[in-house]
Amino acid sequence: MEHEIIDKAIFEDKSLLQVYIYLRSQAKYKPTEKLIDNKTVILQPGQLTLGSRQLASIIGTSPTTAHRLLKKLEKLGEITVTPFKSCSLITLNYWPTEKQKSETPSNPTATSDTAEILPVDETQTKHKRNTNKTQMKTPIDSNNVEGKKKENIYSPVIAYLNQKAGTSYKPTTKKNKELIDARVNEGATLEDFKTVIDKKTTEWKGTEYEQYLRPVTLFGTKFEGYLNQPAKKPKGGSGIGKDEAKSKYANAYNRPIDPETF
């Protein structure tokens, strides 16, 4: 690939790297007219338009995960996202300067009052990355970096689960590592794992579902659903909710209901 990927953090996340490479491959090399929300704008070198749903279908993930990956790249300072009604304008902040030569659009009249020029923010393209100079000279083994990142997340995730649920799971167990790997590859962060653990311990601890406060349930295929569910308050009042009704149904047959079946 012609472009240089400067930020080492991008190599630490396989999904993030995939999105970043796609953005660079689709960015414009010269000023290009584009109709956005019935208004003609001129995309500058290093810019493109994209939506979370469109990106999700391209990289094979959910719109929520695609949106999270774009936000992470923006937080790292790699891109700037300008929202429109129909899509977002994405600016690559580190577009090579040789591609930012002044070029005239195919239609010179596009610079009239009917068009809006959206320039690349020069202050963003001149961020100082002194610590990255050495990294740019030394080839980075992306597989090795990704492996180290995952090794670093196993222990805090499992330790937090054990602390909140009163369990004693091991971060070195093969199945636990595979579950965490799968979620990290989808874009999950340490904070996402903690959020799921907090929500489900609040909901299940002290009930018959407490036995499902385990990695195979929390970090399985329903992880994103748990992550996005509304936080539940401690139970109170005399009303019978859905969970209590399921509990009574289970007790009638003297067996618990696995929440994974719902």
Task: Enumerate residues 6+ apart whose C-beta is below 8 A from 185.
Answer: 14, 15
Architecture of domain 8-99+106-126: Orthogonal Bundle (1.10)
- CA 1 vs. chain centroid, Å, equals 23
> In the prediction, which pLDDT does 225 show?
93
Beta strands (DSSP E) in 4-103 are: 32-36, 39-43, 47-50, 79-83, 88-92
3-state secondary structure of 36: strand
Residue range(s) occupied by CATH 1.10.10.10 in the chain: 8-99+106-126
- 16: exposed, middle or buried (Cβ count in 10 Å: 0-12, 13-18, 19+): buried
> In the prediction, which pLDDT does 119 show?
52
- CA 231 vs. chain centroid, Å, equals 20
> In the prediction, which pLDDT does 249 show?
47
Q: Where are the alpha helices (DSSP H) in 110-241?
A: 122-125, 133-137, 142-165, 174-185, 190-204, 215-218, 223-228
Tell me the pLDDT tens digit for each residue of 21-64.
999 899 888 899 988 988 898 989 989 999 888 898 898 889 99
> In the prediction, which pLDDT does 17 show?
87
Q: In the sheet that 32-36 helps form, which strands lie side by side, from edge to edge?
A: 32-36, 39-43, 115-118
> In the prediction, which pLDDT does 114 show?
47
> In the prediction, which pLDDT does 107 show?
53
Cα 161 from Cα 196, distance rounded (Å): 10
pLDDT-flagged residues of the chain (< 70): 1-8, 97-151, 234-262
3-state secondary structure of 173: coil
For the question of whether the overall pTM of this predicted structure is more than 0.75, the answer is no
Long-range residue pairs from 181-187, CB within 8 A, at least 24 positions apart, any chain: 181/150, 182/219, 183/219, 183/223, 184/13, 184/149, 184/150, 184/153, 185/14, 185/15, 186/15, 186/61, 186/62, 186/65, 186/224, 187/13, 187/15, 187/16, 187/61, 187/65, 187/68, 187/69, 187/72
